[in-house]
Structure 1
Amino acid sequence: MEQAIQFFRLQQIPVLEPGQAEYRQAIATSNLLFRFSRPDCVVQPKNAAQVQTIIREAKAGSIKVTIKCNGHSYAGHSTAFSGISLDLRGMKKAELDMKAMTVTMDAGCQWGDVYEKLIIGNHDGFIINGGRCPTVGVSGFILGAGLGPFTRSFGMGADTLAEATLVTANGSLITVTESDPPTSDKGRLFWALRGAGGGNFGVVVQMKLHVQKLSNRHGMVVAGRYQWFPKSGFTDAVMATMNAFYATPWPDKLTIDTTWICDLRQASNEGGVRFNVSFDGSKGEYDRLITKHITHPELQTQLKRRVLPEKSTRFLYETLVAQWLEEAERAYPSNKTYELYSSFIFTNSSPAALATITTAIRELMKTFRDDFKGEQVNFLVTWIHSGGKASERQPTDTAFFWREAVFHTYVTVEWADKWMERDMRRFLASVKKKLRPLSLNGEASFVNFPDRDFPTKFHERAYFGGNKDELRRVKQMWDPDGFFRWIQGVRRPGDPEEDEVGEDEDRTDKLASEQWGSQWKHYQVEDLEDDFNDLADLGYGEDD
C-alpha cells in the first residue's frame, strides 16, 4: 500500500492518510454503525486520467477500491473499511446545453450542483430528472435507476441517461451511449449501467442526461409539504383514508411521497404521516384532484393549503431542500445516529393487498411504541411514489427490473445509544418478516434503498429480478477478473454465493468490532488522539 501511495503522490494525485485532519473529514459518516471505518488511504482525483492511474495501480497491486461519489449509501456501500477510498467529490464540473437539451456532469457532483445550472440561467419550465434531496450524489442516483420528484412524469432518472464515460477494470476510458447498438458490447454495458451500474463495471467519471420540459406553460410547479398528526393516531378512519390514498390512480403529473412517522423522541404525538407534493400543473387542477380523491375533511383542507405554485427554479432552489430537510441532515457527518434500513416494492392493483400492508405497518408501530417507550428511537416508513412513465418500459429494457412498482417503500430504524443495536436489529427483522412476502415477487427491493444484511444468495434477485443473469454476463465481459467486487455487487457467472451465518440480530456490533479489530493493528498515537476527540464531540467521556 505504501508503494501505491508514494506512486500516487509522484503523479500529483491528492492522497490522505490516517493522522491527517483532512483524512478524518474525508471519511466522516453520519451513520455510527460505520464509525470505525478506516481505509488505508483516501485518494481524491481531479480528472478522469487520474482515476485511470489509480485503477491501474490498484489492480496491479490487488488493492481493494471503494468508490465514493458523495457517501449517501444507506447501507454504507460507499464507505471504505480497508484499501483505497476513491473519493470523487473533487470532480464537480457541470455544463448545461439548452440548445441540445442536455446536462453533462462529473461523477462527484451533487444534485444541488446540477440544479444550480438551471437556477442561475433562469430556465423556468425545465427539469433535470434527478434526486429529491439536493445533497445526493448524481452518480449513485442514476446508476441505481434513480427515483425523483418527476419520475412519474419522465421515467426513472436512468431513463434520461444519454451517455456515460467510465474507467474500466483495465484502466481504459470508454464512453457508452444510448445510440450504441443494444447487442454490442458497449450497448450491453449502457443497458447495465441504467439500474445496476454502481461499483459493478467500472468507475463512472462523467454522465450526460436529457433535460426535460414541464407541461405547465408558465414554468410553474405546485409543491408543498404537510405533516398530519391525527389526535388519536392511526385510527380506523385514518387507515381507511390512507388506504384510499394509496389505491388512487393519480395522474402521472402528480407525485405525493408519504412517510409514516413513529418518533419516540417526540412523546407528544401518537404518530403521523408526512406528505411531500410535486405537481406539474396548475394550482386549480391540483385542488380539483385533491377534492375528488381525498374525502377526509382535515387532510383535504391541509393538502390544498400547504402547497404553493412557484417557478420551477425556485422549487429546485428552495422547496426540495425544505421537503427533504431530514433526509439532507441525515447525510451530514455532524448529525450522528445509528441507522438501519430495508426496502420493499409495492403496487396498488389490489386494495385488499394494500390494506394488508398498511395494517401490518400500524401493528409494527404499536409494537415499537410499546416496546421502546422512553427511548431515543425512531421508526419511519417512507413511500416513494413511482409508476406513471416509469412503468411504461418493459422490465428488460434497462437493468432496472421492477417496472410495475407504484411505491418504493423504505424502512428506517434510528437510535442514539449503541446499546440499543440488538433491540433495533430484532425489531427490523420483524418488519422484514411481515413485509417481505408482500413485496413484488415476495423479494423485490430497490438497489438505491439497500439492505446491507441481505444474504449474498438473495440480493441480486431482490435488486435486479429477472435481469440478474444478463448482468452477470455483462460483468464477465467488462470485468473478467472481478476487480470491482463488493458485498452486494453483481457477480460473474459461476462466482460462489456464500451466505453469512446468522439472523439480523446476530449481527449486533459485528461491523464495529470488525472495523475496530482491523484498524488496531496499524494504529498510530495521532490516530487515537483524533478518535478520542471524535468521541468527546459525541459526549462520551465528559464529566456529568
Structure 2
Amino acid sequence: MIKVSLYKDGLTGVIITPCQKEYEKARQEWNRAVQKFPEVIVYCSQISDIQNAVHDARRHEMGIRIRSGGHHYQGYSTGNGVLVIDVSPMKDIRLSDSGQCIVMESGVQNREVYNFVGEKGYPFPGGTCPTVGAAGYTLGGGWGYSSRFLGLGCDSLKAVEIVNYEGKVLTADETCNPDLFWALRGAGGGNFGVVTSLRFQLPPRITAVTLVELEYTKPGLEEMAGFLEVWQKWLVGLDPRITMNISMYNSPQDGLGIFGRGLFYGSAEEAAAVLNPFERDGAVLSYEELSFYQAMEKIQSSYPDSEKFQSTGRFVQRMYGAKERMQIAGLIAKQAEGSVYAAVTVYALGGKIREVSPVSTAYFYRDASYIMGIQSVWENDCYGEINRQWLYPRFQYIKGLTEGSYVNFPYNRLPDYEEEYYGENVCRLRQTESRYDPLHVFSFPQAIR
C-alpha cells in the first residue's frame, strides 16, 4: 500500500485505487460472494482522514460506503464506483479513567476486544466471529453468546463519536444528541455518519464460564422437527445465564446433522441441569469450564478466513405446531447444486434482551423468542446464483412464520426492508436520518430513507 498525504483535493490516509496491485485484496469482503469494485478505498488511521474522505467524496459527487470488519452479509460496506471509508486501522482500545468503561476506536474487531478484556478478567457482550468489527456488530444491536445474560452489544453502549455529513465530529449519548444515540443502538451500520469511537459499560469481572456444545448424531427430518419442539419449549422461562445457537444442517460430507454451542455463566454442573431437556431428547452434550477469554478463543477458532454464502435471519414470536416444525426441518432436506453447507439456525433471545423496551433503542424486536436464520454456502462461483435462488423460496416460507428481519443478518430481497428491520421505530429513525444526514450522503441499497 502507498502512504500518501494528498489525493484529489485533500484526501489523506492510505489510498488504494484500481491501478495498484494491492487493490484486488483490499476490495474483498469477508463474504467472497460479494464482488464489488470501488473507485477508491481510504484506510483511515485518524479522524482527519475520515473528514477529508467525506469532503472529497461530496466534492466529486461520489457515493460513500463505510467499512470496519468487512462482514456485511450483502456487502453494503463496499460498492461499485464508490469511495470506501475503511476505519480498520483505528485500533486504539483502553479503559476509561474510572475503570468502569471500555473505550475503543471503530476499527477494533471482536477478537481484539476479547484479548483486551480477557486479560483483565472481564467478559464482554460481543460477537462470535473474530474478525467482525465491534462497531458494525453493535450498531445493528449485536447478538452474541452473552446476550441473554449481559444484553445485546448495544445495551452496554454509553456513548458514540461520529463524523457527520459535513465532516463535523459529534458526540452522542443520553444527554448529547440523544436522538442520534437512540438510533445508533440498533439501526445498523452505514447510516447517519462514520463512527470513530464507542464507549461501553463493563460488566463485573468473572472467573469462569461454561462452554457448552450440543450434537445429535445422524438425525432424520423427524428428529429435527422434534428438536424444534424441545427448543421452543426450553426457551420459556429459561435461565438467563445461558445463550446458545443451534443449527440443523445438511452437508455433502456429513449429511443431516444438528450442532450448537453457547455460553453458560455458571458451573458445568449447573449448565447440565439447564440443558437436561435436550439430553433426554437424545442430544450428546459436553461442558467445559474455562475463562471467558479461553471460551471465546475456542469459539472463534472454528471460523474460516472467508466464505461464499447467502444468509439471513428473522424474529420468531410464537410456538410452531408439528406440521410447521416438519416443514421447517424440510427446508434443508435437499441442498442447492454446489452447496457445501446449508442450515436453518436458531439463536436464543429473551433474558436481559427482553428487559429493555422495544422503543428505548432502535432495536425493536425485544419480545421475540429467538432468531431463525437460513443459509447456504458454496465454493465455486458458478453455483452462486443457483444457491441464491435456492434460498429465496425457503426464506419466503420462514417470512410467513415470523415477524421482522434482523438488520445484522440482512437480505437484499426484502421489499419493505425498513419496516422489516425496524418495526414501529421506522418513523422515528427516518426523522433522525433527516436531521443528521439531510442530504443522504451516507446512502447504500438498504439505507434509512
Q: TM-score range by the shorter chain?
A: over 0.9
Please report how far the alpha carbon of residue 18 of structure 1 lies from its aligned counterpart in structure 2 after TM superposition.
1.2
- What does residue 241 of structure 2 align with? 253
Task: Work out the CA distance in 1 between the residues paired with 2:38 and 2:264.
Answer: 43
Please report how far the alpha carbon of residue 357 of structure 1 lies from its aligned counterpart in structure 2 after TM superposition.
4.5
CA contact (8 A) 1:247 1:351 kept: no
- What does residue 319 of structure 2 align with? 350
Task: Work out the CA distance in 1 between the residues paired with 2:293 and 2:6.
Answer: 46
**SS at 2:85's partner residue?**
strand
CA contact (8 A) 2:406 2:421 kept: yes
Q: Is residue 320 of structure 1 aligned with residue 283 of structure 2?
A: no
- What does residue 83 of structure 2 align with? 84
Unaligned runs of 5+ in 1: 181-185, 492-544
Relative to structure 1, is the Cα distance of residues 27 and 357 closer, same or farther in structure 2, using a 3 angstrom cutoff? farther
Match of 2:179 among 177, 188, 195: 188
- What does residue 516 of structure 1 align with? none
Q: After the TM superposition, which residues 229-240 of structure 1 pair with which residues of structure 2 at under 5 Å, given as runs?
A: 229-230=217-218, 233-240=219-226
Task: Work out the CA distance in 2 between the residues paired with 1:321 and 1:295.
Answer: 25
Q: Is residue 117 of structure 1 aligned with residue 121 of structure 2?
A: no
**SS at 2:185's partner residue?**
helix
Please report how far the alpha carbon of residue 9 of structure 1 lies from its aligned counterpart in structure 2 after TM superposition.
8.2
CA contact (8 A) 1:152 1:387 kept: yes
Unaligned runs of 5+ in 2: none
Match of 1:453 among 393, 396, 413: 413
Q: Which of these two proteins has the greater Rg computed from alpha carbons? A: 1
Task: Work out the CA distance in 2 between the residues paired with 1:212 and 1:83.
Answer: 39
Task: Work out the CA distance in 1 between the residues paired with 2:383 and 2:181.
Answer: 43
Q: Is residue 311 of structure 1 aligned with residue 291 of structure 2?
A: yes
Q: Which one has the bigger strand percentage?
A: 2
Task: Work out the CA distance in 2 between the residues paired with 1:434 and 1:452.
Answer: 16
Task: Work out the CA distance in 1 between the residues paired with 2:93 and 2:242.
Answer: 28
Q: After the TM superposition, which residues 520-531 of structure 1 pair with which residues of structure 2 at under 5 Å, given as runs?
A: none
Task: Work out the CA distance in 2 between the residues paired with 1:481 and 1:487.
Answer: 16
Amino acid at match of 2:442: F
Task: Work out the CA distance in 1 between the residues paired with 2:191 and 2:131.
Answer: 23
Post-superposition CA distance 1:162-198 (Å, at most 9, x none): 0000000111101111344xxxxx1101000000141
Post-superposition CA distance 1:380-399 (Å, at most 9, x none): 12212111110111111100
Moved over 6 A (4+): none
**SS at 1:178's partner residue?**
coil
Task: Work out the CA distance in 1 between the residues paired with 2:223 and 2:34.
Answer: 41
- RMSD of aligned Cα (Å): 2.2
**SS at 2:186's partner residue?**
helix
Q: After the TM superposition, which residues 91-490 of structure 1 pair with which residues of structure 2 at under 5 Å, given as runs?
A: 91-97=90-96, 99-120=98-119, 123-124=120-121, 126-180=122-176, 186-213=177-204, 219-230=207-218, 233-248=219-234, 249=236, 250-264=238-252, 266=253, 269-291=254-276, 293-296=277-280, 298-299=282-283, 302-303=284-285, 306-316=286-296, 318-322=297-301, 325=302, 328-329=303-304, 332=305, 335-337=306-308, 339-347=309-317, 349-352=318-321, 355-366=322-333, 368-369=334-335, 372=337, 375-440=338-403, 444-455=404-415, 458-490=416-448
Task: Work out the CA distance in 1 between the residues paired with 2:184 and 2:68.
Answer: 15
**SS at 2:255's partner residue?**
coil
Relative to structure 1, is the Cα distance of residues 235 and 474 closer, same or farther in structure 2, using a 3 angstrom cutoff? closer
CA contact (8 A) 1:44 1:87 kept: yes
CA contact (8 A) 1:161 1:178 kept: no
Amino acid at match of 2:430: R
The alignment-based identity, stated in percent, is 25
Report the TM-score when normalising by structure 1.
Answer: 0.77
Report the TM-score when normalising by structure 2.
Answer: 0.93
**Count of aligned pairs between the two proteins:** 444
Post-superposition CA distance 1:43-76 (Å, at most 9, x none): 1111112211211222232211111111001111
CA contact (8 A) 2:88 2:107 kept: yes
Amino acid at match of 1:449: F
Task: Work out the CA distance in 2 between the residues paired with 1:229 and 1:179.
Answer: 53
- What does residue 496 of structure 1 align with? none
Relative to structure 1, is the Cα distance of residues 432 and 298 closer, same or farther in structure 2, using a 3 angstrom cutoff? closer
Q: After the TM superposition, which residues 526-541 of structure 1 pair with which residues of structure 2 at under 5 Å, given as runs?
A: none
**SS at 1:341's partner residue?**
strand
**SS at 2:203's partner residue?**
strand
Task: Work out the CA distance in 2 between the residues paired with 1:105 and 1:207.
Answer: 6
**SS at 1:394's partner residue?**
coil
Relative to structure 1, is the Cα distance of residues 11 and 448 closer, same or farther in structure 2, using a 3 angstrom cutoff? closer
Amino acid at match of 1:16: I
